[in-house]
Structure 1
Amino acid sequence: MDTVEDIVIVGAGFAGLATALGLHRKGVKSLVLESSPAMRTTGFAFTIWTNAWRALDALGVGDKVRDHHLLLESITFLSATSGDISAKVDLDKTQRKIGMHELRCVQRDFLLETLAAELPKDTIRFSSKIVLIQEDGNLKLLHLADGSIIKAKVLIGCDGINSVVAKYLGLEKPLFSGRCATRGISEHPTGHGFKHDYLNINGGGFRYGFLPCSEKNIYWFFTWCPSENGAEKVDESIQKMREFVLKILTASKVPREIIEVIERSEMSEVVSSPLRYRSPISLLFGNITKRNVCVIGDALHPMTPDLGQGGCTSLEDGVILSRYLADAVHDGNVEVGLEKFERDRRWRCANVVAKSYITGFIQQSSNWFVSFLREKLLAGIMARDLLNVSDYDCGKL
């Protein structure tokens, strides 16, 4: 028998759970459909900047996450070709418009579990993959892989880069940036002893990031251009990928203790992934919403990771959408609420996606002229951009 739900959220990632929790805090019930049989934890960790902490505080879970993750004190840019520091920012001495900056590297599974734990037990339905979306008057018919059908009065797509809901809205497919990424995390039971510093090593055709999550584990990521680094078939196994990353870093001016972290790391089963983004033009002029349907998070604004804003802007989305949508539900006009969300997010998302792409190109380029400008001038500008883009307040619920 078909069921009817007031609000259906597709995807139990950051955006989906943040939206569901925001609605719950506002007294509005929703159903979250997740295609996987359990919570997805791939990716290990990600950076949470100031803007995302404001979102988590608005949702009432900020301190629960803070208590388990280190506050990072600085950001350092290091040249891969010379080994010199090209820029450094002390976060405890750098103010934003509404206070001090806050940066922590948060483990993905911990954040997802924290958000999910705040929701009523029947909110998330696993093993629920949508294969087709149809219309039935004002309702959306969601055909699931198991043959069941759910009728949704409001449909929110938080289903990632290959979003079924984004396809339904007619948004253009995300574009390949020409770069790939791999990630890992190293465990140090007796403590790693590294400074509370976000280290960026750039140039030579790759980008490497190194962030302590706690005193006992470190998250790292490595991005590269396959066409420039002879990376054919390195993603066939974890061992080949590890050897590839170590080979490039060893040939560069990377401190030995940093390389040793990778040697002892656990790496993702998803050995590498292409970095994709949605065209800012598509974000400015495409359908973000249509009547009682909208997309948020990676379904709306997939971006390269160079500003560390993919998860952060998804949390912003969740707070802003749940605020507008809950108020609209109480007023009896959902479309108005979704239109407010669309107006609020178009320029913000397009701006962050564009800056992320440009920053990644500059950081990773092996072109001699770009490298010269990066190390002499642009590194400082990029460091400030990391802070400026996070100087954003999504507001309260």
Structure 2
Amino acid sequence: MTRTERAVVIGGGIGGLTAAAALHRRGLHVTVLERAPSLQPVGAGISLSPNALRALDVIGLGDPIRDLAAWQGDGGVRTPGGRWLSRSSARAAAERFGGPLVLLHRATLIDHLAAQLPPDTVRTAADARLVDPGDENWPARVRTPDGELAADLVVAADGLRSAVRGTLFPRHPGPVYSGFTTWRLLIPVPGVDFASHETWGRGRIWGTHPLKDGRVYAYAAAVTPAGGHAADERAELLHRYGDWHDPIPAVLAAARPEDVLRHDVHHIAEPLPAFHRGRVALLGDAAHAMPPTLGQGGNQAVEDAIVLAHHHDDLGAYTAARLPRTTAVARQAVRIARLNLMTGRVGTAVRDTAIAGLSKVRPALFLRGFDGIADWRPPQPPYASEHTQVG
């Protein structure tokens, strides 16, 4: 009788649960260890581009998520005074990349991923520590409050401050401050009609996007020293963005202080030498945390998970497939952050003029920035969904 391989996933976020679902489909016995008391993430939206949706197709979730999510793309980039610098089209994006860009609540995606797993797969309030990464001759070992688990594969999806990454690569410098902080809101804003937009100012940006359930997902970012917090973050947003164009004042008027989430942004500036060691594989922010300026952090974690399941018995192939791609995407996200969070008056004016001019000549200017990213396909079928066809 063939022995069933065992996988232990440390971290129950989007990347960890996607990996767990994909490995379960491959026939592995999977245990997910999540430190938090529940799987429910803090209230925020997540944008999924066609590359991640095709990855989710592999585990049968692409179409359900497309059906639940709002299509993105009808809108564009504006100035704080409301002038459009660039317009975009959801249909044009879908045609270019073979499927839509969509937006939904993170909790919705988490719930659907968790539903792919057998009962009792996920253990919450389970603090896990890697004791031994193992090698080809013996299993990896993970210590939990209930004892040690031996595993043929350990998936480290334990986020930006990954303890497993520190154990595998103790000399790596880890994440660095990206130079800006972010705020997020997910709230109902009755009676407000608007087009999706991202607004670029001097050292500040704001984005407003409708969800399919009628709520509004809004986010902001500003160049500021690390570690800052206000007693009332809604008041801080009013101070920074209250005089920007509609619907930003209406969103802020509808928000309560407790609706606003604030987090400094960090990224891994120096790529890791590998995404694996022994029988342990890193994925998502634990492997390649990046600024959110391309909206690819969660998308790349989903890609990682599907590719890892494909190469679960050859982690060298996993590193070879993922390290160059995620390094390139992370570097592009850093470049975009420098562009849309410019602080100089002259540089900002030149940027805005260039974007407006180029957008008239090349309407698909911003879509081109996703070439090589959103058109990615997973290494195994199925990756063609009837919903990805535009016609």
TM range (shorter): 0.7 to 0.9
Q: Displacement, 1:172?
A: 3.2
Question: Which residue of 366, 377, 382 maps to 1:393?
Answer: 377
Distance 1:172 1:392 in 2: 30
Amino acid at match of 1:264: A
Amino acid at match of 2:374: S
Residue in 2 aligned with 1:282?
271
Q: Displacement, 1:292?
A: 1.1
Distance 2:258 2:367 in 1: 28
Q: Secondary structure at the match of 1:71?
A: strand
Q: Displacement, 1:181?
A: 0.8
Residue in 2 aligned with 1:245?
237
Distance 2:299 2:316 in 1: 22
Using the size of structure 1 for normalisation, the TM-score is: 0.85
Distance 1:316 1:259 in 2: 37
Contact 1:31 1:124 in 2 (8 A): yes
Contact 2:281 2:315 in 1 (8 A): yes
Q: What does 1:1-397 align with in structure 2 at a 5 Å threshold?
A: 6-80=6-80, 82-94=81-93, 99=98, 101-134=99-132, 138-144=138-144, 146=145, 148-170=147-169, 171-188=172-189, 192=191, 194-195=193-194, 197-227=195-225, 232-234=228-230, 236=231, 240-251=232-243, 253-255=244-246, 257-265=247-255, 271-279=261-269, 281-283=270-272, 286-325=273-312, 334=313, 337-378=314-355, 380=359, 381-382=365-366, 384-386=368-370, 389-396=373-380
Q: Displacement, 1:232?
A: 4.8
Amino acid at match of 1:183: R
Distance 1:322 1:132 in 2: 20
Distance 1:269 1:74 in 2: 26
Give the number of the structure whose residues are more often helix, by fraction.
1
Q: Secondary structure at the match of 2:41?
A: coil
Contact 1:362 1:370 in 2 (8 A): no
Q: Secondary structure at the match of 1:9?
A: strand
Contact 2:181 2:222 in 1 (8 A): yes
Deviation per CA, 1:229-261, whole angstroms, max 9, x where unpaired? xx9541x4xxx110111121124x422x32211
Amino acid at match of 2:196: Y
Amino acid at match of 1:272: R
Q: Displacement, 1:123?
A: 1.4
Amino acid at match of 1:254: H
Residue in 2 aligned with 1:330?
none
Q: Displacement, 1:276?
A: 0.7
Q: Displacement, 1:354?
A: 0.7
Distance 1:395 1:268 in 2: 43
Moved more, 365-374 or 262-271: 262-271
Q: Displacement, 1:43?
A: 4.2
Contact 1:193 1:215 in 2 (8 A): no
Q: Secondary structure at the match of 1:373?
A: helix
Distance 1:160 1:351 in 2: 19
Distance 2:75 2:371 in 1: 10
Distance 2:192 2:73 in 1: 15
Distance 1:277 1:154 in 2: 26
Amino acid at match of 2:152: K
Contact 1:96 1:391 in 2 (8 A): no
Deviation per CA, 1:203-230, whole angstroms, max 9, x where unpaired? 22111111111251010111112249xx
Distance 1:292 1:18 in 2: 19
Contact 2:289 2:330 in 1 (8 A): yes
Q: 1:153 to 1:388 in 2, by over 3 A?
A: closer
Q: Secondary structure at the match of 1:8?
A: strand
Q: 1:291 to 1:211 in 2, by over 3 A?
A: same
Amino acid at match of 1:390: A
Q: Displacement, 1:288?
A: 1.3
Distance 1:140 1:192 in 2: 55
Using the size of structure 2 for normalisation, the TM-score is: 0.86
Amino acid at match of 1:53: L
Aligned length: 367
Contact 1:65 1:111 in 2 (8 A): yes
Q: Displacement, 1:339?
A: 0.9
Q: Percent identity?
A: 23
